[in-house]
Amino acid sequence: MSGRHNFIIAIDGFSSCGKSTLAKSLAKKLKFAFIDSGAMYRAVTLYFIRHNIALDDQATIESALKDIHIDFIPNAIKTEIHLNDEDISEEIRQMYISDKVSDVSAIKAVRVAMVAQQQKLGSRRNIIMDGRDIGTTVFPDADLKIFMTADPKVRAARRYLELTEKGEDVTLEEVVENLATRDRIDSTRAESPLRQAEDAIVLDNSNLTPEQQLQFVEEEYLKARAAKTQA
């Protein structure tokens, strides 16, 4: 562990495992700041789509990243994700962003830029951050690392329900295909691939309620907190 005094919880795992839902609940319970790293990559994806930036145009990508400013703005109901002062919280959850975000996330320049922003966000505060490479790349010295997984069929059903409840016209087959593609890209990309950190605690939530997941991680937090205090 480093000599810092703040506490960092890293939650990694596959798409549609409920990482953000768990992280938000835990942050509220522990009064930690919640940073949704996946939302940051979705924000970049939205920016690239809006500005017709080709994913193989390295020079334009590096120039564009200098103009992308992402903030997390808490209000009474939730934490809004802002891209250059615009609330894009709902826009980035649409399927057309999901279809492109893994490709954007695989670009080295994008990951370097986002990791720098993420590390700055976690430099002083007690935080919970979820994503694909938080415990391996962003905060390899995190005080607690959780790796979430679930049966692919369960994940697809959850994501399909989430999208249809928002009124999106999408089929279950499309969701299954999207998740399979994202898993493949996330796990095989050259830059910061999705993988379980050696010291991460696995949480398979295929058959767990949100309350059971929260209790599980809260108990692991108390153990890690005690260990950090004694160190």
Cα 13 from Cα 188, distance rounded (Å): 14
Cα 160 from Cα 224, distance rounded (Å): 35
What residue ranges do the domains of the chain occupy? 8-226
Q: From 193, 12, 181, select the one nearest 99 (Cα to Cα).
A: 181
- For residue 192, the model assigns a pLDDT of 83
Q: In terms of CATH architecture, what is 8-226? A: 3-Layer(aba) Sandwich (3.40)
Note down pLDDT in tens along the chain; length 231 residues. 456 789 999 999 998 999 989 999 999 899 898 888 889 999 999 999 999 999 999 999 999 999 999 988 877 777 889 999 999 999 999 999 999 999 999 999 999 999 998 898 887 789 999 988 999 999 999 999 999 999 999 999 999 998 999 898 999 999 999 999 989 988 998 888 889 999 999 999 999 999 999 999 999 999 999 998 887
- For residue 190, the model assigns a pLDDT of 84
- For residue 1, the model assigns a pLDDT of 44
- For residue 125, the model assigns a pLDDT of 83
Q: Which two tokens stand for residue 59?
A: 């020079």
Q: Which residue type occupies 6?
A: N
Cα 218 from Cα 40, distance rounded (Å): 25
